[in-house]
Amino acid sequence: MTVAEFFGCTFLAFGPPLAMFIFTIAHDPIRIIILIAAAFVWLLSLLISSTFWFAIVPLREYLSFGLVFSIFFQEAFRYVIYIVLRKTERGLQEVTQNSRVTENKHILAYVSGLGFGIISGAFALVNVLADSVGPATMGLLSGTNVFFITSAAQTLCTVLLHTFWSVIFFNALDTSRYSHVAYVVISHLFVSCLTLFNKQELYYATLIPSYLVTILTGILAFKVVGGSLVTVKRFVTCQ
């Protein structure tokens, strides 16, 4: 059962992102490079935020402090990857045969956001998955038996949110819609702070609001890239 739980949680958390990668990124080497670069930038944000957290000794014992610090650094480095991609667009046009990568700016945002999300989800869940293999680790230390599946569901939520956030964030900077930038930062803080309820095993207080935010953020991301009810209807009817 522990092996089955391992694979179930793995595919719950990373199945949809893997499908997104295979169908929208894997065929284009430039997109793969951008995804890896974005993941590396996220790692840099984690390294620097961890350094600051470790350096401020009096607040080191407060999890909420480290969490908030990490969010601000992640959003700062999301801005860094935005600047880098915008400044290298001309170079990308020269090395890629697929002009859509540079002509459609939302593609760059989507790919970098997915890179942020995948590496963030991996760091959040890999150790949990390693423990889930067993033997006899259901719930861990007499905890609830839904710990692993809720962790996987939260990871999927995080991956999707990072993708949506980058699309909204990049478009907001391109169009000077700073209210959308504020939405990205505030919703990131909100969803991340919700995970503090997990310590009391209040998983419903984490997952339900998180997925509501994910749905709303996905709708907003769909809207900023030009989506509408008409395009949804055309997609459903294969027009």
17-28 tens-digit pLDDT: 999 999 999 988
List the domain boundaries for the chain: 2-236
The closest alpha carbon to 70, from 57, 51, 83, belongs to: 51
Burial (CB < 10 A; 0-12, 13-18, 19+), residue 58, is exposed
How far, in Å, CA of 201 to CA of 191, rounded?
A: 16
Residue with more model confidence, 169 or 96 = 169
pLDDT value at 85 more than 50:
yes
Average pLDDT on 104-131 reads 89
How far, in Å, CA of 56 to CA of 16, rounded?
A: 38
Range list of H helices, 147-202: 147-175, 178-194
In contact, 166 and 109? CB cutoff 8 Å: yes
